[in-house]
């Protein structure tokens, strides 16, 4: 099963299975925890890049690429709704996940 590289882009669709509409706020909060969890790694990478002579613009780009934001989440969800109509359509069409793939992912990632 092929999955996108950016973990946040997988987590949002997978979270759909935990009653998407009623838990969207919690799902978004969990997604945003990525920044907290990755903060030490991001800081280490930024320090190395700065010591290697990267420009401020490059440092900002590195930080943006290694971070998530509320805006990213909202834009992704709006795009999914606009282009696919529903999260299940997105999972099937855009990510080309079969129902078996989706059930396997649910078993791996969802706790309730």
Whole-prediction pTM? 0.66
Please indicate, yes or no, whether residues 73 and 111 belong to a single structural domain of this protein.
yes
Question: Do 35 and 53 fall into the same domain?
Answer: yes
User: Burial of 31 by CB count in 10 Å (0-12 exposed, 13-18 middle, 19+ buried)?
Assistant: buried
In terms of residue numbers, what domain contains 60? 25-68
Q: What is the pLDDT of residues 68-98, one digit of tens each?
A: 999 999 998 899 889 998 888 888 899 998 9
Consecutive H or E run containing 22: helix 20-51
Q: What is the mean pLDDT of residues 91-107?
A: 86
Is the domain of 53 the same as that of 75? no
pLDDT in tens, 41-75: 999 999 999 999 999 999 999 999 999 999 999 99
Tell whether 77 and 39 lie within a shared domain. no
Q: Is residue 30 part of a domain?
A: yes
Residue 7 included in any domain: no
């Amino acid at each position: 099963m092929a999955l996108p590289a950016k973990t946040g882009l997988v987590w949002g669709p997978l979270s759909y299975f935990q009653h998407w509409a009623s838990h969207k706020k919690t799902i978004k909060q969990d997604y945003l925890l990525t920044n907290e969890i990755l903060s030490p790694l991001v800081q280490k990478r930024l320090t190395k890049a700065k010591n290697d002579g990267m420009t401020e613009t490059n440092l900002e780009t590195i930080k943006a690429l290694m971070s998530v934001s509320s805006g990213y989440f909202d834009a992704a969800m709006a795009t999914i709704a606009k282009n696919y109509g529903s999260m299940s359509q997105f999972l099937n069409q855009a990510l080309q996940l079969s129902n078996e793939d989706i059930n396997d992912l649910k078993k791996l990632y969802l706790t309730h």
